[in-house]
Amino acid sequence: MSPQQESFSSDDRVASGLSTEWSRAMDLRVPVVNAPMGGVAGGRLAAAVTSAGGLGMIGMGSAGSAAALREELRHTAALDGRFGIGLVEWVVAADPELLDVAIAAAPALVSVSFGTDPSWIARVRESGIRTATQVYNATEARMAEDAGIDVLVARGSEGGGHGAVEMATLPLLDAVLDAVSTPVLAAGGIGSPASFAAVLAAGAGGVWLGTRLAACAESSLSEAGRRAMIGADGTDTVVTTAFDVAMRLPWPTRFPARVLRNEFATKWAGREDTLRTDERARAELAAAVAADDPRTAPIDAGQGVGAITAVVPAAQVIDELCSGAAELLARP
């Protein structure tokens, strides 16, 4: 057997040890989805994750638009629909064409998160596209199931970016798995083979990885953002609405963001009422965002950020996670 054949067959053994009912139904080699991360998970990252055997997702966050989505879709054109698109409900409400463009792209999965109106689910499903949404407790999971959702994402408070701070990933996963019969992906703080293995052992249909893939070579994160992530560990994040208030983004207050702690967050977290009208602080933040200065500008990251030690291709991260998790799960 040539070395190439040998590594291929060992890859296959890893993949079959991790596959779940959901990953088989989605025809994925490994049960890994990259979280749709606005400004970070573009078409290049989605294509890399799909090529590595998972499901790549294009993320359209608070700055998302139909035009920006069309641009990112150029990178996934050759994937024959083997990718997903993730949208934010209030952004779609402001630019309804976003959902039209997403449906027209005929991806394998569309997610819409951070909302209360499930009417998009029926519309997307009627187009033959599977649907996903992030939930934070069992009641919400049941509501999304009743609305016809195809897969739920149980997103724990360890996670990076915006999300409700209600339950940690493992207790949330337990509660959601108990409450519904729909497949459930686990999200929030998953960045190591051990945490990946733990959620699969608990019954997750797969993982929805954000932070761990955010600094990959194919992501759209800035150089300074990558360096900040590499330099951070799990104690270096904070949950705050300060950046959204300063940037006047209409995020529902239920969804603050977990970001790397920096000078701006340290100064303003908890003082949003003062910040709201502090034009100087708002201008400083805008300048730092334009200059890509992570001492002031926000960098979304979850508590698994310590697992990021270098900028490497997404395929390498996925291979390391999968082979490590398969080894842990195969232990006698």
Ligand X SMILES: Cc1cc2nc3c(=O)[nH]c(=O)nc-3n(C[C@H](O)[C@H](O)[C@H](O)COP(=O)(O)O)c2cc1C
Minimum gap (Å) between residue 162 Cβ and ligand X? 6
Total number of residues binding ligand X (CB under 6 A)? 30
Report the distance separating Cα 82 and Cα 107, nearest Å: 6
Would you say 176 and 138 are in contact if contact means Cβ atoms under 8 Å apart? yes
Letter string b/e over residues 245-265, b meaning 16 or more CB atoms within 10 A of that residue's CB: bbeebebeeebbbbbbbbebb
Report the distance separating Cα 45 and Cα 37, nearest Å: 10
| Only segment of 141-149, 152-160, 281-289, 316-324 that touches ligand X (CB under 6 A) | 152-160
Q: Report the side by side order of strands in the sheet with 257-260.
A: 161-162, 257-260, 237-240
Report the distance separating Cα 12 and Cα 14, nearest Å: 5
Q: Which is nearer to ligand X, 105 or 273 (CB)?
A: 105
Q: Which is nearer to ligand X, 42 or 53 (CB)?
A: 42
Is residue 214 close enough to count as binding ligand X by CB under 6 A? yes
Please report, for residues 17, 213, 311, the alpha-carbon distance to residue 327 in angstroms, rounded to integers and kept in the order given.
Answer: 9, 21, 24
Q: Which residue is at the shortest CB distance from ligand X?
A: 210
Please report, for residues 22, 56, 183, 237, the alpha-carbon distance to residue 16 in angstroms, rounded to integers and kept in the order given.
Answer: 13, 19, 18, 35
Minimum gap (Å) between residue 40 Cβ and ligand X? 4
C-alpha dihedral, 192 to 189 to 218 to 10, nearest 10°: 30
Segment holding 112, helix H or strand E: strand 109-113
| Subset of 215-274 contacting ligand X (CB under 6 A) | none
Please report, as a single letter, which amino acid is at residue 267: K
Kindly write out the interface string for residues 70-109 of this chain, putting x where it contacts ligand X by CB under 6 A and - elsewhere. Answer: ----------------x-x---------------------
Among 56, 161, 298, 306, binds ligand X (CB under 6 A): 161
Bridge partners, residue 83, by sequence: 56
Minimum gap (Å) between residue 126 Cβ and ligand X? 22
Minimum gap (Å) between residue 145 Cβ and ligand X? 19
Bridge partners, residue 130, by sequence: 109
Kindly write out the interface string for residues 280-309 of this chain, putting x where it contacts ligand X by CB under 6 A and - elsewhere. Answer: --------------------xxx-x-----
Segment holding 281, helix H or strand E: helix 279-291
Q: Which is nearer to ligand X, 56 or 160 (CB)?
A: 160
Among 210, 256, 298, 306, binds ligand X (CB under 6 A): 210
* 212, HSE (Cβ side, Cα atoms, 13 Å): 29
Q: Which is nearer to ligand X, 53 or 163 (CB)?
A: 163
Q: Which is nearer to ligand X, 210 or 256 (CB)?
A: 210
| Only segment of 6-14, 95-103, 187-195, 289-297 that touches ligand X (CB under 6 A) | 187-195
Minimum gap (Å) between residue 88 Cβ and ligand X? 5
Judged by the rule CB under 6 A, the positions of this chain that interact with ligand X are: 35-38, 40, 59, 61, 86, 88, 113, 134, 155, 158-161, 163, 187-190, 209-212, 214, 300-302, 304
